[in-house]
Amino acid sequence: MKEKPIGIFDSGVGGLTVLKEISKLLPNESIIYLGDTARVPYGIRSSETVVKYSIECANFLHKKGIKILVVACNTSSSVSLDILKEKLPIPVIGVIIPGVKAALKTTKKGKIGVIGTEATVRSQSYTKRIKEINPAIEVISKPCPLFVPLVEEGILEGKIAELVIDRYLKEIKESGIDTLILGCTHYPLLKKSIQQYMDGIKLVDSAEEVAIEVKEMLKELNLLNEDGGKSFKTFYVTDDPERFKKIGEIFLNYGIEKIFKVSLEEDK
């Protein structure tokens, strides 16, 4: 069981932010990553569609023999996490709670901003979790639907990125927040440009917190892999492996060797 891989899925390349942090913290662990690139972005879909896609991704990875599932997609974590926990016989971790905990530790003024896809913001998942822990916190949320296409196209800096960031974040910047949750795993790839614009405001990327939670969960279940000699990383996508490879390698700073195109429909 210890040598079984960790499974991670996202709608595209964004979940690589989570993979990167898990790899840093748990270098001996094998990882299987699934990017549902044929159907990205999830954030503009209905809740029913997101749940359907999430179940298909989860089933695909479970059949690969994973020991734990990380739902690296915020949209999926917002609407599908409880359903996936019920359906799968293995631990399932999302990205919402770790991000919330980090933001609450960070804020000094009690005013937190949340940016995410339309589905994540509509679900109010971050606001609900924050208010459950501390009802006094003020939360300002804003959907940023063009951020995911920017990342998927590799447009992470420059004039186009700056114009889109200004369009979405001007109002939230002026609202007086001191902490901003990047409520989509794609957004950390834009972190440098967002941080320049949100000068003086702390950005919360839940990927680091998720990695810590994965380590704690595996330790608790006695599933940590101490032997890294046989560890591997395998990538699956549902469309255009070369495009994913190109953007993924820029972010990960190493070559992606094992990448395969799959159909989740056939996997049912």
Q: Which residue ranges form the domains of the chain, and what is each CATH number? A: 6-94+208-261 (3.40.50.1860), 96-206 (3.40.50.1860)
Based on the number of CB atoms within 10 Å of its own CB, is 220 exposed (0-12), middle (13-18) or buried (19 or more)? exposed
Cβ atoms of 54 and 76 within 8 Å: the answer is yes
| Long-range pairs, 243-246, Cβ under 8 A, ≥24 | 243/37, 244/12, 244/13, 244/35, 244/37, 246/154
Residue whose entry in the numeric block shows the structure tokens 């999430």: 54
Where in the sequence numbering do the catalytic residues fall? 73, 184
In 3D space, the residue among 24, 12, 16, 29 whose CA is nearest the CA of residue 67 turns out to be 29
Residue of 34, 14, 32, 10 whose CA lies nearest to 23:
32
Q: Which residue has the higher pLDDT, 251 or 35?
A: 35
In this predicted structure, the answer to whether residue 229 has a pLDDT above a threshold of 80 is: no
* In the predicted structure, residue 249 carries a pLDDT above the cut 70: yes
Residue type, 59: N
Query: pTM above 0.75?
Result: yes
How confident is the model at residue 87, as a pLDDT? 95
Q: How far apart are CA 236 and CA 216, in angstroms?
A: 26
State how far the alpha carbon of 174 is from the alpha carbons of 113, 178, 199, in Å.
Answer: 11, 10, 11
Phi-psi region of 124 (alpha: psi -120 to 50; beta: other; left: phi over 0): left
Please determine, for residue 22, whether its predicted confidence score (pLDDT) is greater than 80. Answer: yes
pLDDT at 268 over 70: no
SS3 state of residue 52: helix
116-166 tens-digit pLDDT: 988 889 889 999 999 999 999 999 999 999 998 898 888 999 999 999 999
35 within 8 A of 238, measured Cβ to Cβ: yes
Cβ atoms within 10 A of the Cβ of 94, count?
25
Q: How many alpha carbons lie under 13 Å from residue 137 in its C-beta half-sphere? A: 29
Q: What letter represents residue 212's amino acid?
A: I
**Chain mean position to CA 95:** 6
Rounded Cα distance, 245 and 258, in Å = 10
Please write the tens of the pLDDT for every residue from 182-227: 998 889 889 999 999 999 999 998 888 899 999 999 999 999 998 7
Per-residue confidence (pLDDT) for residue 228, from 0 to 100: 66
User: Could you tell me the pLDDT band of residue 266, with boundaries at 50, 70 and 90?
Assistant: low
Chain-wide mean pLDDT for the chain? Answer: 92
| Token code pair at residue 238 | 């549902």
Burial of 212 (0-12, 13-18, 19+ CB in 10 A): middle
Per-residue model confidence as pLDDT tens digits over 43-99: 889 999 999 999 999 999 999 999 999 999 988 998 999 999 999 999 999 999 999
pLDDT of residue 66: 97
If we measure between CA atoms, which residue out of 62, 49, 58, 68 comes closest to residue 211? 68
* DSSP reduced 3-state for 192: helix
Is residue 255 predicted with pLDDT exceeding 60?
yes
Does 267 score more than 60 pLDDT?
no
